[in-house]
Chains A and B, each alone.
Chain A
Amino acid sequence: DGGITQSPKYLFRKEGQNVTLSCEQNLNHDAMYWYRQDPGQGLRLIYYSQIVNDFQKGDIAEGYSVSREKKESFPLTVTSAQKNPTAFYLCASSLQGPNQPQHFGDGTRLSIL
């Protein structure tokens, strides 16, 4: 079945470490997105990419980095510069256009040890 796969489901990070969250899609979507969700709140956009080798900052990009070397993959690195990384991270993809729904993965929950 087509869909979005995020891994791992749970991730623990020590202070000062960078960690990379994986996001793969087989929906043949050009656009991919990373969101962060804190408890009891809606999602906030971190980064998005409309095409391979191109991406733009969202509303809360500080302390994060991404790459888009392949259409199917959009990994997110949470760097040590992100002072409050504990959150639920969600990846999404879509066809291009404002009327196109976004398809979400099941998320990665990141915690600091």
Chain B
Amino acid sequence: DAKTTQPNSMESNEEEPVHLPCNHSTISGTDYIHWYRQLPSQGPEYVIHGLTSNVNNRMASLAIAEDRKSSTLILHRATLRDAAVYYCILTKPMEYGNKLVFGAGTILRVKS
């Protein structure tokens, strides 16, 4: 399975933008880049995903490098509720369905 590399932790001030990096140098052409986040004692929550082009939704933006070997999740204005573990995941078509391979993720701390 293609692997992703993320910083163990990052810190941000409230209401400032946050850029969470992810390296995925072994990504293949059919792998989608997904981001999920998880609060303590809760299930992960889908944030955003993309294949080649940059993507925006109400939660965040995803910037994908031209060679697709890295990507950045952008939270435009961090709030205290954005403090969570953020997972960058590659998904690929399997014979039966799609598979999420989770790493350890990045712990985001937001200071007020």
Segment of B11-19, B39-47, B60-68, B70-78 in the binding face: B39-47
Q: Which of A4, A44, A58, A104 has the most CB of B within 10 A?
A: A104
Partner of B46, one of A33, A97, A101, A105: A101
Give chain A residues whose Cβ lies under 8 Å from the Cβ of B99: 45, 48, 58
Asked if B87 and A98 sit within 8 Å, CB to CB, the answer is no
Residue contacts A-B, CB under 8 angstroms, 23 given: A35-B102, A41-B104, A42-B104, A44-B102, A48-B96, A48-B99, A50-B96, A58-B99, A92-B43, A94-B97, A94-B98, A98-B91, A98-B93, A98-B98, A99-B32, A99-B51, A99-B91, A100-B98, A101-B46, A102-B44, A104-B43, A104-B44, A106-B42
